[in-house]
Amino acid sequence: MKKYRLLVVGFLGILMLQSQAQQTIIKYLSGTDKDNTVQWEFMVTKGMNSGRWSTIPVPSCWEQQGFGTFNYYSDKVNSDEQGLYRHAFKTEAEWEGKRIFIVFDGSMTDTEVKIDGNLAGPIHQGAFYQFRYDITEILRTGSDHLLEVTVSKKSANNSVNRAERQADFWLFGGIFRPVFLEIVPQTFIERVAVDAKANGLFGMQVFTRNTKGKQSVEIQVQDLRNRNIGSPFRVNAADSNYLKTKFNGIKNWNPEQPNLYQALISIKEGAKTIHSIRQRFGFRTVEFREHDGFYVNDVKIIMKGVNRHSHWPESGRTLSRAIHLMDIALIKDMNMNAVRMSHYPPDREFLDLCDSIGLFVLDELTGWQKGYDTIVGRKLVREMVLRDVNHPSIIIWANGNEGGWNRALDGDYALYDPQMRFVMHPWEKFNGTETKHYPDFNYITNAVLYGNEVFYPTEFMHGLFDGGHGAGLDDFWNEMMKHRAFAGGFLWSLHDEGVVRTDRNDSIDVAGNAAPDGIVGPHREKEGSFYTIKEIWSPVYFNTKTIQKKFIGKIEIENRYLYTNLSQCKFEWKLISLPKAGERLSKEKIVHKGLAPSPALAPGEKGWLSISWPSGTIADVLYLTVYDAQGKTIVTWSSSLNWPEDNIKQAIHTAKESPVTADESAGRLLINCDGIAFEFDKATGFLHHVNKGTSEISLSSGPALAGVKLSLSSFKHYRKGDTYIVEPSYGETRFNVRWIFQSGILPKLEYSYSQRGVADFMGITFNFPEEKVDGIKWMGRGPYRVWKNRMKGQQFGVWEKTYNNTITGESWNYPEFKGWHAELFWVTVRNKEHDFTVYTNQQNIFLEMLHPAKPKGQTNENTSPSFPEGNLGFMNAISPIGTKFQAAALLGPQSQPNIQMNFTPISGVLYFDFR
C-alpha cells in the first residue's frame, strides 16, 4: 500500500477537471475506507494494549484494531479513554501560493489537531460530521510535517456525550472516516447549494473566496457524460452568488428513475478559468402538504423504508463502497424505496449511491434521546447540511431522535438549504406530522380513524431476534394505507449490530437484546422476514393467494409503484414438475415457460394478468416472476397446481410383503405390516416406536392433541377384512384417532378433534429425539419457517435443509431449521436411525419441526412463542410472534390466538412411509 494517496477531484470530492492549475487537489493522509488504509503511529491511554506506541490503520475504530474498551449504551468503562495519533507527511513545492485545508470526514469524539506542534484550530466536538481547518499559514510547501491528533472518546461538552454516547448503539473511538488535504487556488469556490426543480427551474448558491472585480461565476449544466445541456450562464463574482435559469425537456429524479445531471461551476476572468468544480444533482421537487402528505414531483409518495446504522462487525463504523452497495442492494431487493440515517449522517459515498441507485433519504442529526446544546448544535447542523445539501435523495432533515432534538436548531437547516427541506422530529407529533415509534395495531387503527397529521412511523415493527419486521407487517401495512395522510414507515432495523470482539476471541457480540434487531445479520445474512417484506412491499402486488384447480388464466394484480407503469415490467411464468419424496437425485423440471403480456396499469391501478399454457399440461407448481425495466427481479409469486390428495395417489401404494399381524401383551400392542413393526402403548394410546428390521425408529408419544392434556377413554383394535384398525379415543376432548394398516398400502392415520376456546396452536404431534435428526426434505412453502403473522415470502417447492440450532439474531446459519413450515404436502425426516416420510392429504397443514431454542438475551417471551410438548407436529393452526415491545396479540388480526371455526370438528389424514 502506498503511504500517500493523491487524487485530483472537484471540491467536495466530485470529479476531475481539465487543467491542474484550475483543479481542487485532494491528497489523502489516511486511507479511503476500511479496505484501503494507511498506518499511523498510535497509542491509547486506557484499555486493551494501552500505554505504548504502536501503529493503527486509519481510518478505523480503534477497538476493532485491538485497542481501548468496548462499550454499549454508555461509556461505563474507561470513559476518559484517549487515542493519540502521529503521522508524517510532505507538502509539494507546486502548492506554493495555494490555500491548503485539512479535512476530517469523521472522528469520535473530541478531536484536537496539531501540525508541527501548532494547533490547526479549535478542538472539534461531534463524531459524525465533516470538519476542516485552513492550515495554509502553518505549513511550508515542499517540506516534511508532523500531524498529531488527540481523539477523546468522552467529549468535554456534556451535551455531546448525551447526544452521541448515551445511546442505543456501540460507542467506538477513533478517526473512523478519511483524512485528507484539500488544495485550492487563492481564489476558489468554497461550496455550492443546488435547488433544481422538477419543472426545470434551476437555482444554485455559489460561495467563493477572494474573487476580484473583473471575475465572473459561470455554470454549465451537463449530463453525466459531460455533454452540455443548454448554454452556460453567469453572474459577476461576489462572495455569495445566486444563479438561476430554466431548462426544458429534463428528466426528473425519483427513486424509480434516478436521473442525474452535473453542473460545471467556474470562476472566470475573461477566457481564463481560475477554479472549477463539478457538482452532481437531480431535478426534483419535494413538497409537504399539511393533512395530506409528502409529494415528490407532484406525486404523493409512500415511503417503504428501513433504519440503517453505519456498521460492519470487523470494522465498526468504518465502512467501504462495497458495504454501501451491499446495503443499498439489500434495501432495494426488499422493494423498499427509503432509508432513514439513524442516528447520524452516513458516509458521503452512501448518499452518492442513494442518488444514483434511487432511494429517498431521511438525513439525521445525532441526538439519540438527548439533544446537543445550541452552541455546538448549530455548528454541527451547519456541517451536516453543507456536506449533504446537494443530494437529491435527501428529502427530509431529521433534527435528532426520540426527544434528542434541540428545538432552537429547527430553523438552522434552512440557513444552508435553498431547497428548504422539511425538518422533522422522529417519534414526535411535530410540524404537522405524526411519526410515533413502535405503535401497536390499536394505535394504528385510532390514527386511521382520528388522525389529521401526515402519518409515517419512523420506527416500527421492531425486529428483535425473529420477531417484528415481516411478522405483523401485512396487517399493519393494510391498515396504515387506509390513513388519509399516510406517507409510509421505517422498519427497525436493517441489520443486527454485532461487533467482532477482539477482547473475546473475535466472537460476535450483539449486546444481549440491544442490537440483534435486523432484517439481516451482522454480515447481512437474510432472515425470513427479508422475503416477507419483499412480497408485502412489492410494487407489483398480487391480490390472488393461490390458484384453484379450475384456473381461468387470470391473476389479479395491483400497481403499487409511484412513478412506473407496469407496461415497463416483464412477467415470466414457469410451470414446474417437482421431484417425488422418494426421488433422492431428481430435481425440479421446467414443463413450460413463457412471457405474459404486461398490463398497462398506471400507479395505483388494479387489473388482471393473463396467462395461458397448452391444455393437458401436467405440472406441480406455477412460478410467476416480475422483472423491472432494468431486469431486476421484483417478486416471485408461486402456487401449487395440485392438492395434497392428488399428490399422494401413487405414493401410498407399496409392494405387498405379508398380511398384517397383531400381537398383544399386557401393556403393548405390536402391529406388523409389510416388514415394519409398530408398537403402541395401551395406557396412552400413543405410538411407542417403530422397527424396520434391525433399525429402531424412535417416533413416539403420538398422535397427541397439541397443547391439551389427554386422558385415554378407550383403546380398541380389531381386524376388518384385510385391514387392521387401532382406535384410541380421548372422549373428554373429543379427540379420535384411527390407525389403518393394510398390506400394500402405507399405514394411514385418521384423526379428528374439537377444541374449545382460544389456543396458541392446533394440531397433532409426535416426539422424535432431536439429537438424532440430520435434516428434512419436504414439499411445501420454504425454505424459511413461518409464523401465523408472517406467512408471506416463501415459495412453494421441494426443499431440503440440514439440522441447525440457529437462534435468530444470536447465530446466523439461515434458514433456521426449527419451527413451523407452511403448506405441507409431505416431509422426509432424515435421521441417524432410518429416514421416514409422512404425507398429508389436506391443504394448509403446517409442519412443526422441533422447538426453536430461546435466545440467551431475551428478557420477555414476546419473541419466543409457545410450541407443543411434542416436537414433530402436523398442525392446523400455529402461533404468531411478537416484537421486543409488544406481545403478538397487539399486532393485529393475524396475530390473534386461534379458534376452532364454527364448532366444526377438525379432521386430517396422514400416511407414514418407513420403508
Average pLDDT score over residue span 377-406: 98
Instruction: Please report the pLDDT score of residue 20 as a whole number.
Output: 44
The reply to whether 643-756+905-915 shares the fold of 327-536 is no
Strands (E), 721-793: 723-730, 735-742, 745-753, 758-759, 762-767, 773-782
Report which of residues 546 and 408 the model is more confident about. Answer: 408
pLDDT tens across 427-454, in order? 999 999 999 999 999 999 999 999 999 9
Average pLDDT score over residue span 229-238: 96
The mean-pLDDT minimum among 353-357, 663-667, 812-816 falls in 663-667
Largest CA distance in the chain: 113
Q: What topology is assigned to 540-642 in CATH? A: Immunoglobulin-like (2.60.40)
Instruction: Please report the pLDDT score of residue 203 as a whole number.
Output: 98
Provide, rounded to the nearest whole percent, the portion of the chain with pLDDT above 90: 91
pLDDT tens across 503-555, in order? 999 999 999 999 999 999 999 999 999 999 999 999 999 998 888 777 889 99
pLDDT tens across 273-288, in order? 999 999 999 999 999 9
Average pLDDT score over residue span 314-331: 99
Flag whether pLDDT at 308 surpasses 90: yes
The mean-pLDDT minimum among 187-191, 491-495, 756-760 falls in 756-760
Instruction: Please report the pLDDT score of residue 732 as a whole number.
Output: 65
Q: pLDDT grade, residue 127 (50/70/90)?
A: very high
Burial of 326 by CB count in 10 Å (0-12 exposed, 13-18 middle, 19+ buried)? middle
Contact (Cβ atoms closer than 8 angstroms) between residue 595 and residue 572: yes
Q: Do strands 773-782 and 54-58 pair parallel, antiparallel, or not at all (unpaired)?
A: unpaired
Q: Under CATH, which number does the domain 5-184 receive?
A: 2.60.120.260
pLDDT tens across 833-870, in order? 999 999 999 999 999 999 999 999 999 999 999 999 99
355 DSSP assignment: I
Instruction: Please report the pLDDT score of residue 5 as a whole number.
Output: 42
- What average pLDDT does the structure give for the chain? 96
How far, in Å, CA of 244 to CA of 200, rounded? Answer: 11
Q: pLDDT grade, residue 195 (50/70/90)?
A: very high
Q: pLDDT grade, residue 17 (50/70/90)?
A: very low
Flag whether pLDDT at 330 surpasses 70: yes
pLDDT tens across 72-91, in order? 999 999 889 999 999 999 99
Flag whether pLDDT at 10 surpasses 60: no
Q: What topology is assigned to 643-756+905-915 in CATH? A: Beta-galactosidase; Chain A, domain 5 (2.70.98)
**CATH superfamily of this structure's domain 327-536:** Glycosidases (3.20.20.80)
How far, in Å, CA of 246 to CA of 199, rounded? Answer: 8
Instruction: Please report the pLDDT score of residue 14 as a whole number.
Output: 38
Provide, rounded to the nearest whole percent, the portion of the chain with pLDDT above 70: 97
Contact (Cβ atoms closer than 8 angstroms) between residue 368 and residue 333: no
Flag whether pLDDT at 16 surpasses 70: no
Burial of 73 by CB count in 10 Å (0-12 exposed, 13-18 middle, 19+ buried)? middle
Q: Under CATH, which number does the domain 190-281 receive?
A: 2.60.40.10
Q: Where are the domains of the chain?
A: 5-184, 190-281, 327-536, 540-642, 643-756+905-915
Instruction: Report the predicted TM-score, pTM, of the whole model to 2 decimal places.
Output: 0.96
